[in-house]
Chains A and B, each alone.
Chain A
Amino acid sequence: MTSQVSSPAEQADGAGGAVVGGQRTPESPGGKEVRRLDRVIIRFAGDSGDGMQLTGDRFTSETASFGNDLSTLPNFPAEIRAPAGTLPGVSSFQLHFADHDILTPGDAPNVLVAMNPAALKANIADVPRGADIIINTDEFTKRPMAKVGYATSPLEDGSLDAYNLHPVPLTTLTVEALKDFGLSRKEAERSKNMFALGLLSWMYHRPTGGTESFLRQKFAKKPEIAEANIVAFRAGWNFGETTEDFAVSYEVAPATRAFPTGTYRNISGNLALSYGLVAASQQADLPLYLGSYPITPASDILHELSKHKNFGVRTFQAEDEIAGIGAALGAAFGGALGVTTTSGPGVALKSEAIGLAVSLELPLMIVDIQRGGPSTGLPTKTEQADLLQAMFGRNGEAPVPIVAPRTPADCFDAALDAARIALTYRTPVFLLSDGYLANGSEPWRVPEVADLPDLKVKFATGANHTLADGTEVFWPYKRDPETLARPWAIPGTPGLEHRIGGIEKQDGSGNISYDPANHDLMVRTRQAKVDGIRVPDVDVDDPDGATTLVLGWGSTYGPITAAVRRLRGAGLPIAQAHLRHLNPFPRNLGEVLERYEKVVVPEMNLGQLATLIRAKYLVDAQSYNQVNGMPFKAEQLATVLKEAIDD
């Protein structure tokens, strides 16, 4: 066994379950030994300025194009450049890749790349003994070590004896490799992340062409810098191949058997969500109008959609969050697919406008990429604590449907589904993603456009009501009897001139009405409309007839499913259900919950779904909560679920 082989429990993350790690294969032509692994977890860690996110992105791209299944976890501070060399300034990128299907970015890295003492200190607790640690020794000098509280050098004091340590003078080697470029030492040092990437690419047999063409494109205007980075990248690769410290390299075969046939690409949650919005607009044949104010971690959707003006996409960077949703709502009144994107603090500011959209009964998509709260909270970390805000955070009875994607790629389908609900039922809809889904990535089977749902709508074109005297009139609040949706009559349609507003309206005519009985009717009707939204039944995965059900929603899908696999692998029956629709709940949810003796609800909040479940179904759901800004680990959930089963 090598240090690369993870424990049997961790292996159970894979569906196939075939453990091939540690198998010896013949020596490579280069004379070095090659071993096959079924999966690897790598974490790149360095200073915020060290380019760790870029390094991780590139390694991910190489891995995706090689055909492994993968899952990523970028983790970075909110500061653009936190003080150099400090613990709060550490930025990391974890990547889990495998020859079978995997669900999470992995609990513990098999390999840690630490670019400086702070990166080592901040990450070592997550690294299991026996794992590989590649250290940039150039940064392990007295001052940087003292800065993070290392009294003695961890490279020499024996504290890392339990690990497979690879001390590499990354900076020196990079500068040496670039000595012919005439760059200053500082400029040359910047390429050390590419040296590290080259080394890791050699270790894991990654294809390199993509990174080289990426660098040429990225630095197209500075070909000298592009070449320097490519030389550093190749130097890293060659270093791995020649130095004796790295005696073994590893192969992780493509995950061909794990995937249905098709064309695949790697995609992050925010990108998938952006594409979902463009697709929804195309499928609805309505122009997309995004009103948005920059906010982490949602801004990438604004950036992405701004690139697609040739799809008729209008992006409006508003003066504030309220104007963002206001403009989207105004565009929706005019017949556009109106969208606003934000995170929790922005939702708080938009609340009154969401209430107006509820009252106007116009289609509107509110995308909330949740982050740690309250207030500014943890802008770059993940959390699921906006569920109750989405559910109840408005004055009056203002029901809003809620859709939550479960994986990065699922953000595409969830966006289409949210658009379907908004357009069919003429209502604002929440799409609740989170920071983990937004920045994480995984392979995505590219759908055929012909297979996407038809979202076309019919605008009102004429009178829809006959008055007692026989006059044909248009009533803006006369509803479709099946969906309870009101007609969407857009300005420019002759004869349908009407006025709508936030004041209570008379049922049917839409005229201002303060009549108590009418208000009671309208409040109940708006609620009935949302309650009646058609959503698919929730699937229950229960092959063994379990008595305990684990119920999740949103981005906890990966870790929960990985934990469930571990338990089943160990012979413990457990049932799993995962909610995409939080409002309304699937029709069969109450019946499903009743079937189980125990219901455990893991959430990255203090029990918000559990609160809703308990209130609605009178089920004694057990909450398991984590609010540390990070996704659950599969091992941790497996332990908790086992305790629940055994209890």
Chain B
Amino acid sequence: MTEVTEATDGARTLLSLVPKAESKQSMKDFKSDQEVRWCPGCGDYAVLAAVQGFMPEFGLAKENIVFVSGIGCSSRFPYYMNTYGMHSIHGRAPAIATGLATSRRDLSVWVVTGDGDALSIGGNHLIHALRRNVNLKILLFNNRIYGLTKGQYSPTSEVGKITKSTPMGSLDAPFNPVSLAIGAEASFVARTVDSDRKHLTEVLRQAADHQGTALVEIYQNCNIFNDGAFEVLKDKDQAQEAVIRLEDGQPIRFGADGAKGVVRNPATGDLEVVPVTTANEAQILVHDARNSSATTAFALSRLADPDTLHHTPIGVFRSVERPVYDTLMADQLDAAIDRSGKGDLGALLTGNDTWTVVG
């Protein structure tokens, strides 16, 4: 591995703490010897392939990459990556990864989780990792169903979902993971789709480069218990009208020939979809993921209809820089040494108030 250079300060230095690969890597280097055991046709395969395909480009020494997961179908992910990995317990991956990332800044730490793992049993850890801005990359596989326990509704399932545990329909309103993350002070929030390898890879690239916690929601098809949940976003004909591709610095337009666009309603301040005309073309919102205010990113996350998924934005909603917890923690250790000198155990144990017993 190449020499690690200590970060000085400011942005764009955190990745430099992680050693680079000595030689060129290939996708094969990141495949473990374990047989992949997801159901045939599962969307997880596509995500695994995209991540394994992206890693050589990322270029870090694979021994310095760690995947930590919770429990659920997607959480088997680390077993298939030929990096360090931990398949932990339900919902707790962000907490475990926080301990690892904050104590080892020479590692690139990734969390793999699902909608149940991250938003139900582990909701608390997710929001706190986001607000702290720990240097983690969180891949949230959202299939809107519990797969591993065989088909109960999840915290992202649409209201009225008929499942084994809700034969008369589910009662609870779903979380919108992107809205939740923005509300939890996330510095990077993106959404992508399992079947769109190119888009998925581009989002991974931006997430990997981000300083701090990056949350990537990946719409992922469970072909056994919730097949076709995102079909409207994947079917070519329907997708054109349903998907809004966010591109930083570009007007937010979609539909055939970009016939539709997003504008801010001057009366309410809210965002809405309108047909683009020559009269309103100048008013079409230009996407600014780096806007210091989260207001517009949040409004974008509310555009999608939770039932039909119409007007679902994908891409990077928000990518802003703010202090990273790991760095702050390391800085305090340095500051303490600057102030008091390196700890002297003998002096600590003795303290300032002693007496002596002589023989």
Q: Which residues of A contact B (CB under 8 A)?
A: 61, 64-67, 210, 256, 259-266, 275, 278-279, 282, 287, 289, 291, 308-314, 316, 318-320, 322-323, 326-336, 338, 352-353, 355-356, 360, 446-449, 491-503, 511-512
B103 engages A314 (CB within 8 Å): yes
The residue that A492 contacts in the complex, of B92, B107, B348, B358, with Cβ under 8 A, is B107
A503 to B85, alpha carbons, bound, how many Å? 13
Decide yes or no whether B279 CB sits under 8 A from chain A: no
> Which residues of A sit under 8 angstroms from B82, Cβ to Cβ?
497
A312 engages B343 (CB within 8 Å): yes
CB distance from B96 to the nearest CB of A (A): 4
The answer to whether residues A496 and B100 also contact, given A308-B348, A352-B89 and a CB cut-off of 8 A, is no
Decide yes or no whether B128 CB sits under 8 A from chain A: yes
The answer to whether residues A329 and B357 also contact, given A308-B343, A310-B340 and a CB cut-off of 8 A, is no
A449 engages B68 (CB within 8 Å): no
CB distance from A288 to the nearest CB of B (A): 10
Q: For the A-B complex with A67-B355, A279-B349 known, give 16 more contacts whose Cβ atoms are closer than 8 Å.
A: A64-B353, A262-B356, A263-B350, A264-B355, A308-B343, A309-B332, A312-B333, A314-B333, A323-B125, A331-B99, A333-B86, A333-B100, A356-B89, A449-B345, A502-B89, A511-B34
B357 engages A67 (CB within 8 Å): yes
A–B Cβ pairs within 8 angstroms, 5 of them: A256-B358, A259-B357, A319-B95, A491-B84, A500-B87
CB distance from B14 to the nearest CB of A (A): 16
Smallest Cβ-Cβ distance to B337: which chain A residue? A310
> Which residues of B sit under 8 angstroms from A503, Cβ to Cβ?
87
A312 to B106, alpha carbons, bound, how many Å? 16
Decide yes or no whether B265 CB sits under 8 A from chain A: no
A323 engages B348 (CB within 8 Å): no
- Of B56-64, B244-252, B285-293, the one with at least 4 CB within 8 A of chain A: B56-64
A496 to B83, alpha carbons, bound, how many Å? 9
CB distance from A266 to the nearest CB of B (A): 7
A446 to B88, alpha carbons, bound, how many Å? 41
The residue that B99 contacts in the complex, of A265, A330, A491, A498, with Cβ under 8 A, is A330
> Which residues of B sit under 8 angstroms from A322, Cβ to Cβ?
92, 95, 125
B63 engages A497 (CB within 8 Å): yes
Decide yes or no whether B199 CB sits under 8 A from chain A: no
A319 engages B125 (CB within 8 Å): yes
Interface residues of B in 243-294 (CB under 8 A from A): none
Total interface residues on B, CB under 8 Å, equals 63
A309 engages B359 (CB within 8 Å): no
A326 engages B85 (CB within 8 Å): no
The residue that B95 contacts in the complex, of A314, A330, A335, with Cβ under 8 A, is A330
> Which residues of A sit under 8 angstroms from B355, Cβ to Cβ?
64-67, 263-265
CB distance from B230 to the nearest CB of A (A): 29
B87 engages A328 (CB within 8 Å): no
> Which residues of B sit under 8 angstroms from A319, Cβ to Cβ?
95, 124-125, 128
B356 engages A326 (CB within 8 Å): no
> Which residues of A sit under 8 angstroms from B103, Cβ to Cβ?
287, 289, 314, 330-331, 334, 336
The answer to whether residues A491 and B66 also contact, given A326-B95, A497-B83, A499-B85 and a CB cut-off of 8 A, is yes
A494 engages B342 (CB within 8 Å): no
> Which residues of A sit under 8 angstroms from B104, Cβ to Cβ?
331, 334-335, 491-492
A401 to B221, alpha carbons, bound, how many Å? 44
The answer to whether residues A499 and B86 also contact, given A278-B343, A310-B336, A314-B333 and a CB cut-off of 8 A, is yes
Q: Bits for B82-119, please: 1 = Cβ < 8 Å to A, else 0.
A: 11111111101001111111111011000000000000
CB distance from A73 to the nearest CB of B (A): 21
> Which residues of B sit under 8 angstroms from A327, Cβ to Cβ?
95-96, 98-99, 102
A438 to B73, alpha carbons, bound, how many Å? 44
Smallest Cβ-Cβ distance to B341: which chain A residue? A310
A501 engages B79 (CB within 8 Å): yes
Chain A CB count within 10 A is highest, among B96, B97, B106, B343, for B96
> Which residues of A sit under 8 angstroms from B124, Cβ to Cβ?
319-320, 323
> Which residues of B sit under 8 angstroms from A256, Cβ to Cβ?
357-358
B79 engages A512 (CB within 8 Å): yes
A498 to B85, alpha carbons, bound, how many Å? 6
The residue that A326 contacts in the complex, of B61, B92, B341, with Cβ under 8 A, is B92
Decide yes or no whether B49 CB sits under 8 A from chain A: no
> Which residues of A sit under 8 angstroms from B86, Cβ to Cβ?
330, 333, 360, 499-501
The residue that A330 contacts in the complex, of B63, B83, B98, with Cβ under 8 A, is B98
The residue that B63 contacts in the complex, of A279, A494, A501, with Cβ under 8 A, is A494
CB distance from B326 to the nearest CB of A (A): 10
CB distance from B105 to the nearest CB of A (A): 10
CB distance from B323 to the nearest CB of A (A): 16
The answer to whether residues A326 and B125 also contact, given A291-B99, A334-B104 and a CB cut-off of 8 A, is yes
B84 engages A449 (CB within 8 Å): no
Q: Bits for B315-354, please: 1 = Cβ < 8 Å to A, else 0.
A: 0000000000000010011011101111101101111011
Q: Bits for B18-56, please: 1 = Cβ < 8 Å to A, else 0.
A: 010000000000001010000000000000000000000
CB distance from B146 to the nearest CB of A (A): 18
A447 to B62, alpha carbons, bound, how many Å? 44
> Which residues of A sit under 8 angstroms from B89, Cβ to Cβ?
352-353, 355-356, 502
The answer to whether residues A318 and B100 also contact, given A356-B89, A491-B84 and a CB cut-off of 8 A, is no
A330 engages B100 (CB within 8 Å): yes
